[in-house]
Amino acid sequence: MFAQVWIPWNMKEFWPYTAGTLFVTVMTVTGCIIYSACGVFHFTFTFQMSAYLKILLNRLETNGPADKTIYKHHRKLNKFVEDYNKLFAGQLYLEMCVTCVQECGFGFPLLKSLKAHDPNALDLLYKSIYALLAPFMFCSCGQEISTQIEKLHHSAYMSNWYEYKPKDRRMLLVMMSSTLKPTTLNYKKFVSFNYICFTTIVQGIYSFITVLINLDGD
């Protein structure tokens, strides 16, 4: 979050100013490290899930529905995503809500600064872009997982299921049913993190800023 830090001492002298600068620097660097670590962890989970789903897709296309390991690993991947949602989906949803509020707070003064030819507009533009990166990152990761699941469902649908035994057909049907309404990155089935969600966020931000501009009347 972008905000001025309150320093509980006078900053006009050299040593208090130096101490305040170090304090703000340590807070900023610590926050960046924690935020970057969370981002790397989220990307790592996404890339692993995408790779596992690609392996399942390759096995399904190569070995066909008779490969029993496909269904076992698919159930484990679904459980993995469910556990991840229980642990981190709430934090991701909160982060997206906070960054959306930030984006609305930066977007309105940005437009006013551009209209007034204020040099501060460049700083507001940087903050607006940076604030919008968080929901885009989360939604792009969720979209990647959803895309791979859709490919797996399409491959199962297009397979030569009629050439296999009834037991294999039933197992394939169960997997197709689960991929039809897949377990993806979401918060309590209320918000799914994908490009549709990101588009909705951008539309909401645009609508809110438009309302503020109309109310401002300048």
Are 68 and 169 in contact, with CB atoms under 8 Å apart?
no
Nearest to 175, CA basis, from 74, 82, 79, 81: 74
- Alpha-carbon torsion, ordered 58, 61, 62, 67, to 10 deg: 90
The answer to whether the CB of 136 falls within 8 A of the CB of 198 is yes
Tell me how far apart the alpha carbons of residues 83 and 88 are, in angstroms, rounded to a whole number.
9
- The string of pLDDT tens digits covering residues 57-108 is 888 888 877 778 888 888 888 898 999 999 888 888 888 888 888 888 888 8
**pLDDT of amino acid 75:** 86
pTM, full prediction = 0.78
d(CA 169, CA 131): 48
- pLDDT classification of 54: cutoffs 50, 70, 90: very high
